[in-house]
A and B are shown apart, each in its own frame.
Chain A
Amino acid sequence: MSKTKPSGLAHYEILFVVSNRFTEDEAKTSIAKVEKLITEGEGKITLNEYWGKKRLAYPIKHEAYGYYQLFEFDLERKDLARLDEKLRLDHEILRFIIVTKKLKSDEQLAKEQKIKEKIGKKQAEQEKKSQEEKTKKEAKPKKDAKPKADIESLDEKLEGILNADDLL
């Protein structure tokens, strides 16, 4: 093959929202239609997860709710654009997202791990550096003992605030 486009199967994930204009049964037909779009060619569904009717975080086309459906599937790379276009034109679908799920090879995983370690090392070095500078500064004036305690209690307070944020 002399094509420049990558060929072969790839693993994808799609999440989409069917409009609440429809009843749940109608939404299921919509979902079945999407399933057929995927399986028409070489596509094969490997995961089917129906999330049901969910409240949208913000209204879309005046709808406050939508039916969420998740599929994972294998598809020929060249067929993805066509699927994407068809979904775009489908007015029953409020939103959709297709994400490439990497079936990562060992090689790729090793590469990512290396990058991660590199970043981690750099961060650690920077931290060490700033820590050293800090201790240098602290070592000079000996009367620093009291404010240091203040900083620590402030730190605790801040931690509390951050944790409170987490609950939201």
Chain B
Amino acid sequence: MLNKHLNLNPKLFDSDVEQAPLRDGFGKGLVKAAEINEKVVGLCADVTESVRMHWFAQKFPDRFIQTGVTEQHMASCASGIAAMGKIPFISSYAMFNGGRNWEQIRTTICYNDVPVKIAGSHSGLSVGPDGGTHQALEDMALMRVIPRMEVVAPCDALEAEKATVAIANTKNPSYLRLAREQTPVITTADTPFEIGKSVILWDNTAQVDCIENRKPPTKNSRNSRVAIIACGTMVHKALVAGRELASRGFGVIVVNNHTIKPLDKSTLLNVASKVDFVITAESHQIYGGLGGAIAELLSENMPKRMAFIGVRDKFGQSGTGEELFKHYKMTHVDMVNAAITFAEG
């Protein structure tokens, strides 16, 4: 059952669901954040329109700094700006902003303890045709391991907008994971968002549990309660998989885990306590990102069998998003199959 309290997009399962890129949400959110707080400044490394910082740059030309193609310098320059009391957002593609400038982010931003906000656009497989060089599949792992860093991967454009406004208010450095492609809009303006608060989008476990002598979802099924914990552009696929599994008799909880760090331990452990099996889904390597974070949390507190949906130690390649998700076994069907395999196992 979709969570009624979240004011989700009523058309979210429709084939003509509204779509928008996460980066657009960032661009709008940045203008909002800048209107609210005059300390917000923006830096970009020659991809301003592409990462949607141009709306900010047009509205606040005196607070925009074009650094040219200098991601390493941009990160440290923002550190200096933050040391003077401002809140700089730095933006480029995740592969370069988060990837190329990792050590500058670690030392001059996080170790230095200044609130620089890092927007990594064009993350994940869905960059598609640009190919493997441009598909950042390691960025959440890279960012998550740095002390003090917050890591946020919003699920749709509206959430990206809210996340942008929200990270402008935290005193820590933050990494905001964005994507280029059209992504179904799951939330509405009225859907709550809070950094560090995971969102239960779907939960039909109560209904399933109360049906006496219910029909098992598969032939020999014993373990039929499953959680799908997803982030970013994979959340919509997780919802589609969740609904499908529910229709087959599974008890399913679908979590939008937009904040990878700090993890919402209480919500996640509570979810885990209600299920037999946990699936994580991310457009990222299965190592070190969302799946890694959840595995660390569960194995320390409440060990569960898990399946990891993501790229399995491979580089990306050119193709449409759809082709690539199929190739790397990252569609909603793969999530459904993971649950069935477990239930029958």
Q: Do A and B come from one complex?
A: no
B residues with a Cβ closer than 8 A to A are none
A residues with a Cβ closer than 8 A to B are none
